[in-house]
Copies of this chain bind each other. A is one copy, B any other.
Amino acid sequence: MKRTLSVVEYSGEEEAIALFAKALSHPVRIKILKLLASQQCCFTGELTELIPMAQSTISQHLKSLLEAGLIQGEINPPKVRYCINQDGWLKAHSIFEDFFTPDRVFGCDCPVAVRAPEGRCR
């Protein structure tokens, strides 16, 4: 697509949140993560038995979760055992927590559909 305007700059945090969020932006990946997180330990590609999707599709979603750092795979031939990547999980948790807890209280008291007096906002 056209990108004639100057390139928008993003902070590392903005990029990081967006990347984690993208990994979480499909319900089947949420389902996979919940399955893995609910296991005592790891889990394997029997995901294909629990989720009615083609094996290649599951594998693709696992790959994106891997790349996001939310899970890890342990090769255990001919199987692969997946589990939550603790580091990535905690990192995602804290980055979302920080995001949703802004420094300033964002109390917007603008009554919806009512004109707010000028000067309250920049």
Contacts and interface: CB of A to CB of B under 8 A. Distances in A.
Interface of A: 5-8, 10-11, 14-15, 17-18, 21-31, 33-34, 36-44, 46, 51-54, 72, 74-76, 81, 83-84, 86, 89, 92-93, 96-97, 99-104, 106-116, 120-122
A25 B21 contact: yes
A109 to B, nearest CB: 6
Contacts of A108: 39, 41-42, 83-84, 86
Given A44-B121, A74-B116, A106 B37 contact: yes
Contact of A52 (B5, B100, B102): B5
B8 A17 contact: no
A47 to B, nearest CB: 12
Given A30-B14, A40-B104, A6 B74 contact: no
